[in-house]
Amino acid sequence: MIYLTNMDNNVKLGFDFLENLPTDFGISKSKFENWAPFVLNVNFLGRTVAITEDMQAYMTIYEIEKIFNDLKHLLDDANGNEDKRITHYSSESFFEFSLEYLHVDECFSLELWFVTAKFLESEILGCDVGFRFTIDKTEMDRFAKELYNRFNKVCPQCSI
C-alpha cells in the first residue's frame, strides 16, 4: 500500500494496485479492455473508509495511464504561477477525485469522493462520502512516483 499524508498529519490515504491481474489480461487487447484491480482507503480520526479487495474494484489501463499522465503534467506545472486542476471519475463508479495545485499556498488540494452505492450493494442513498485535504508538494511528488513504480511492478507489460 502506498500512503499519502495530509499537511496536518491527521488524514492518510492509501492506494495500491493488486497483483492478481485478470486471467484474460493480454497485450493484444486495447487499454479499454485490460484492467487492473486496486484498493483505496482513507484513514482519519480513528475511522476508515475503504474500497477493499472483496469489492473487486478495478480501473482500465486507459484510466490508469490517463491519471498518471495528468498527474505528471500537474506536478511539472507545480512551480508556475497558476492554479491547475485534474479530475477523474472512475468508469466503474467507485470513486472520483479532483486534485488542484494552489500556487499561492504552494500545496495541493485533494477532494476525493467515494460512491456510496458501491459500499451498500447498489442501494442508492442520493449522497456520497467525501474528503478534502491539503498535501505538501514533496509528499505529493513522492506518492506519485511510488504509485507509478508500484503499477509498473504489478503490470510490467502495460508500458505506461
Taking residues 149-158, what's their average pLDDT?
Answer: 89
Whether the predicted pLDDT of 126 surpasses 70: no
List of residues 6+ apart from 120 with CB closer than 8 A: none
How far apart (Å, rounded) are the C-alpha atoms in residues 66 and 62?
A: 6
The domains found in the chain, sorted by start residue, are 2-158 (2.30.31)
pLDDT tens by residue, 11-35: 999 999 998 776 667 767 777 778 8
How far apart (Å, rounded) are the C-alpha atoms in residues 94 and 129?
A: 11
Count CB-CB contacts under 10 A for residue 137: 15
Q: What is the pLDDT of residue 27?
A: 66
How far apart (Å, rounded) are the C-alpha atoms in residues 40 and 35?
A: 16
pTM: 0.88
Which long-range contacts link 18-21 to residues 24+ away (Cβ below 8 Å)?
18/53, 18/154, 19/154, 21/154, 21/155
How confident is the prediction for the chain on average, in pLDDT?
88
Helix ranges, 95-156 (H)? 116-119, 137-154
Whether the predicted pLDDT of 124 surpasses 70: no
Task: Take residue 31 and report the three cell numbers written for it.
Answer: 487499454
pLDDT tens by residue, 76-120: 988 778 889 999 998 777 899 999 999 889 999 999 998 876 565
Task: Take residue 109 and report the three cell numbers written for it.
Answer: 488540494
